[in-house]
Structure 1
């Protein structure tokens, strides 16, 4: 379908993305790359149009995912690790698109603009952008934990230049790699344990060991030895390594980048206020108090508390910190992680608590070691459980994101005349079932399959 084709979507339920508007039956007209009309009821289709029958379906704006990883070809994660394998980049991009995402912000933070698509001359229909966290402390934190993907040109890059070259937000300030979070549980601690003992450790066991040694806030001065001894028996590590050696190993694995990463928070917040630019921060138990202080110190900074349902929080803590951040003008993001359907490491207690407390502004995936669940599966769950109305739930991943990240998505996120024609058609009974996608006016997915030449 060429971009100048007049496309008409008929017979569907229309949810516009503004958080409140729903038309039980309506029509969306697309001309070229723009939406030219949205109306309720039935109207004349006209001649010469490409008609998409959305009967039995809901028509929504394309999902905007403003906190994702693994979708570009540069250094990966806030640890500046080696790039994700190209075959996996392709897989993650296709997964995001086929689950309804049409715009994605890759927040690893240390890649450069020419690494969004790498050497490829073919543009993926998923509109992919990046962020910048190129400050001295963030780069030093990355090098302290890994930094294998950083070349000299990454190390000398700085925020102002990156913004001039098209970065859409600052961040992600900090990450699980540099702040003792999920990536320590699924990557760094298991690797260190395996190197020391030859034993492979499940991420849940790695998290439990970490918390026994350092606490959930990374502030424990002495380990919980009874708990640690019990865990060593449970994990069958006891014959292979002593408790004191585990304490040393975990401290040496987790803590080296932490102070540097927290200093990087200050640098990103100051830059956000100076540039009036959105800034995404790793929100978890070791950083929530820091974020509150930064919101007070830099009141004009545009702070987004990323994945505020982080598993290091207890549910009541997530809500308490969310309330304090929200009072200070911070936008509250929650991520699907693997807690909606997969549930390999995480559960939905924290996201449920934040949604039910009406604290959530935006909904993203994050990465979760590649196990992330789709945004629409989370929206389906919210609606099915009666946590939010359908328009309010859709708004978390469309209109709200365009409002909080106008540099990324100010021209999209709403089914409205003049907006970019990113439109997703999903099953009425299960919003996670994506049938058709129009991305920038082109039919990118039809009947659940990517259009020829789109992958």
Structure 2
């Protein structure tokens, strides 16, 4: 054997199975077998490397199918300039140390050769890309930003990207193009800084955006100028400018790309049904109605309602929309965002409501301006709150994801013979504490340290 992991508990990723004591055997990057025993399993098997998982739980490596910032191509659905190499390295390492072994970067407009930062030494984590190369999605990116897009990005097609290794479509829409989080932590604050020389916090940007445009990005639902003035005072911005000017700046920042981005939903859904690959959609208050329509129109497509716990929803609304989408055949994904421990801009109320309602299929991180919480932090929360069993919670980030994203993860996500040996060992008391990470049979984190 190349590797044996012994003496730990074992969660297989199927949503049901949790062995109190087992050993996992690995040969040539694949799971060679499993031995379940009440005593110290695997003691007589000789292996090149051994991990003693006593006091821990062995589970499949996490499959994160909605993340950003982990490639060197155009960033986000806005086609912005790539993240700096140091930032990309940091984001990637954070994901691995949080237990992710397979990651889908869903910025959507990068090319197949823009994954690796260091081509001579690819990252240990298996990083894949999605494609949103359709006319309306590209046009929406250019309206918002597009400074990371070159001629080849603009001329590429879905088929081009799938041929070069993309494993999913999307993200259709985004916080930049549909008035979501990126508008609150980046674009609106940038506009205020440029116009008035004042710094606006993401929380203030959200309040002002909702005051002007409403949660559904409908200016008719916005507040009157007197109430907007009150909001400016609440945010510490009274006297900086008039309400009308704030209304103009926010509208000009948010609205130009919205219609284009929503039109891009239809393009992505149609392509997903044609090519048979899953597609990820920005599910939020402004886009839920359009998403519902494309789910109905393209019933044969695998359409994923991304971050269905988006903060633009009220909790009951998030549940109602998710249940309706799920009945129509959509896959319901939730994202940790920053809502578990960080709580920079978001809180867990929508996530809790969706888990309690039993309508979640998968879990991811998204980006949250680079401040996302780990998937295992959310899973630990679900277990402590007794919302799900340990096996059910773990499946949201392992076996369930593998069943949806077959082209990316069909050979992993479960601990069973023949599957790719992507494995993690976590603390049995707090599953968010990752001790060891194995990717394709190779130990890449030992005792919490990148090897």
What TM-score range do you get, normalising by the shorter chain? Answer: over 0.9
CA contact (8 A) 2:311 2:346 kept: yes
Name the CA shift for 1:249/1:22 in 2 (closer, same or farther; >3 Å).
same
- Correspondent of 1:13 among 9, 28, 42: 9
Query: Partner residue of 1:423?
Result: 423
SS of the residue 1:217 aligns to: coil
Q: Kindly state the Cα deviation for residue 194 of structure 1 after the two structures are TM-superposed.
A: 1.3
CA contact (8 A) 2:4 2:47 kept: no
Q: Kindly state the Cα deviation for residue 59 of structure 1 after the two structures are TM-superposed.
A: 0.4
Could you list the runs of 5+ residues in structure 1 that have no partner in the other structure? none
Matched, 1:281 2:281: yes
Q: Kindly state the Cα deviation for residue 234 of structure 1 after the two structures are TM-superposed.
A: 1.9
After TM superposition, the structure 1 stretch with the greater mean CA deviation from structure 2, 226-235 or 288-297, is 226-235
Query: Partner residue of 2:151?
Result: 152
* 1:211-250 → structure 2 map (5 Å cutoff): 211-221=210-220, 223-225=222-224, 226-250=226-250
Query: Partner residue of 2:162?
Result: 163
SS of the residue 1:445 aligns to: strand
Q: Kindly state the Cα deviation for residue 417 of structure 1 after the two structures are TM-superposed.
A: 0.3
* 1:402-441 → structure 2 map (5 Å cutoff): 402-441=402-441
Query: Partner residue of 1:127?
Result: 126
Q: Kindly state the Cα deviation for residue 44 of structure 1 after the two structures are TM-superposed.
A: 4.4
Q: TM-score, normalised by structure 2?
A: 0.98
SS of the residue 1:65 aligns to: strand
Question: Quick one: distance in 2 between partners of 1:26 and 1:240?
Answer: 64
Question: Quick one: distance in 1 between partners of 2:449 and 2:118?
Answer: 26
Question: Quick one: distance in 2 between partners of 1:309 and 1:72?
Answer: 25
Query: Partner residue of 1:302?
Result: 302
Matched, 1:34 2:30: yes
Name the CA shift for 1:83/1:185 in 2 (closer, same or farther; >3 Å).
same
Query: Partner residue of 1:64?
Result: 63
Question: Quick one: distance in 1 between partners of 2:372 and 2:289?
Answer: 26
CA contact (8 A) 1:223 1:247 kept: no
Question: Quick one: distance in 1 between partners of 2:428 and 2:332?
Answer: 28
After superposition, the C-alpha distances for 1:311-363 in whole angstroms (9 at most, x for unaligned) are 00000110000010000010000000000110010000000000111111000
Query: Partner residue of 1:317?
Result: 317
Q: Kindly state the Cα deviation for residue 118 of structure 1 after the two structures are TM-superposed.
A: 4.1
Q: Kindly state the Cα deviation for residue 49 of structure 1 after the two structures are TM-superposed.
A: 4.0
Question: Quick one: distance in 2 between partners of 1:375 and 1:448?
Answer: 16
CA contact (8 A) 2:4 2:42 kept: no
* 1:83-162 → structure 2 map (5 Å cutoff): 83-118=82-117, 120-162=119-161
SS of the residue 2:252 aligns to: helix
SS of the residue 1:12 aligns to: strand
Q: Kindly state the Cα deviation for residue 231 of structure 1 after the two structures are TM-superposed.
A: 1.2
Name the CA shift for 1:137/1:68 in 2 (closer, same or farther; >3 Å).
same
SS of the residue 1:305 aligns to: strand
After superposition, the C-alpha distances for 1:123-173 in whole angstroms (9 at most, x for unaligned) are 111100000000000000000000000000000000011111110000000
Query: Partner residue of 2:291?
Result: 291
Q: Kindly state the Cα deviation for residue 50 of structure 1 after the two structures are TM-superposed.
A: 2.0
Q: Kindly state the Cα deviation for residue 379 of structure 1 after the two structures are TM-superposed.
A: 0.6
Question: Quick one: distance in 1 between partners of 2:254 and 2:277?
Answer: 30
Matched, 1:179 2:172: no
Q: Kindly state the Cα deviation for residue 395 of structure 1 after the two structures are TM-superposed.
A: 0.1
After superposition, the C-alpha distances for 1:356-402 in whole angstroms (9 at most, x for unaligned) are 11111000000000000001111111111111100000000000000
* 1:236-385 → structure 2 map (5 Å cutoff): 236-385=236-385
Question: Quick one: distance in 2 between partners of 1:89 and 1:106?
Answer: 11
Question: Quick one: distance in 2 between partners of 1:398 and 1:278?
Answer: 16
CA contact (8 A) 1:8 1:45 kept: no
Q: Kindly state the Cα deviation for residue 120 of structure 1 after the two structures are TM-superposed.
A: 2.7
CA contact (8 A) 2:85 2:117 kept: no
After superposition, the C-alpha distances for 1:79-101 in whole angstroms (9 at most, x for unaligned) are 00000110000000000001100
Question: Quick one: distance in 1 between partners of 2:70 and 2:261?
Answer: 23
Q: Kindly state the Cα deviation for residue 300 of structure 1 after the two structures are TM-superposed.
A: 0.7
Q: Kindly state the Cα deviation for residue 121 of structure 1 after the two structures are TM-superposed.
A: 1.3
Question: Quick one: distance in 2 between partners of 1:26 and 1:93?
Answer: 30
CA RMSD of superposed structures (Å): 1.0
Question: Quick one: distance in 2 between partners of 1:400 and 1:222?
Answer: 38
Question: Quick one: distance in 1 between partners of 2:321 and 2:167?
Answer: 26
CA contact (8 A) 2:8 2:22 kept: yes
Query: Partner residue of 1:386?
Result: 386
Q: Kindly state the Cα deviation for residue 180 of structure 1 after the two structures are TM-superposed.
A: 0.4
CA contact (8 A) 1:19 1:392 kept: yes
SS of the residue 2:113 aligns to: helix
